[in-house]
Amino acid sequence: MKKLIFLFSLLGVFLFSSCKIGAGDSEYSPQISVAATSLNGVNLTATSTLDTLHVGDVLNFCVIAQGLSNPLVSVQVTNDTTYSAISFPDLASISSGILSNSKTDISKGYLYLSDLNIGTITFNVLYVAKKPTKTSGVTFSVVSTSQYTTAPLQLVIPVK
């Protein structure tokens, strides 16, 4: 009887441990998060609309893009150039992961990543308010190799 129980236990362990995980089990949407680091009182965790800035104010964003279990393909940071300007002050630190091809356009915020299997990337974005507006802002987007590929984040930044 003990041999029969042992045999069925061994068979059960074999059957439960031989499951193959399908290719779709790692298809997680990428994530993007942003933290404002240069102005006191700017809170991005509870709202997508920031407090009003004034013309000439500079806001420094720390952007963290994560592909989770999938490599990142691109990161895009866009703005309305009529009302604001953006720049990437520390881009040299991640330049080895950025492809120099026709799709990469740093002046427009298009950063295409090389196939180095990058799962997470962190960089700073400087936002400078140029003209008064109530609806302008910044849009962040990250794309990974997953089936559910894009993760957008839009911030509205009113300027007086």
Binned at pLDDT 50, 70 and 90, residue 160 comes out as confident
pTM of the model: 0.71
Q: What is the pLDDT of residues 26-42, one digit of tens each?
A: 677 888 888 766 554 55
Mean model confidence pLDDT for the chain:
76
Which tens digit of pLDDT belongs to each residue from 108-156?
Answer: 888 887 665 677 888 888 889 899 988 888 888 888 887 667 888 888 8
What are the residue ranges spanned by the domains of the chain?
25-151
Highest mean pLDDT among 8-12, 53-57, 103-107, 118-122: 53-57
**H or E element at residue 8:** helix 2-17
77: Cβ contacts below 8 Å, ≥ 6 apart: 63, 86, 88, 109, 111, 125, 138, 139, 140, 141
The length of the chain is 160
Class of domain 25-151: mainly beta
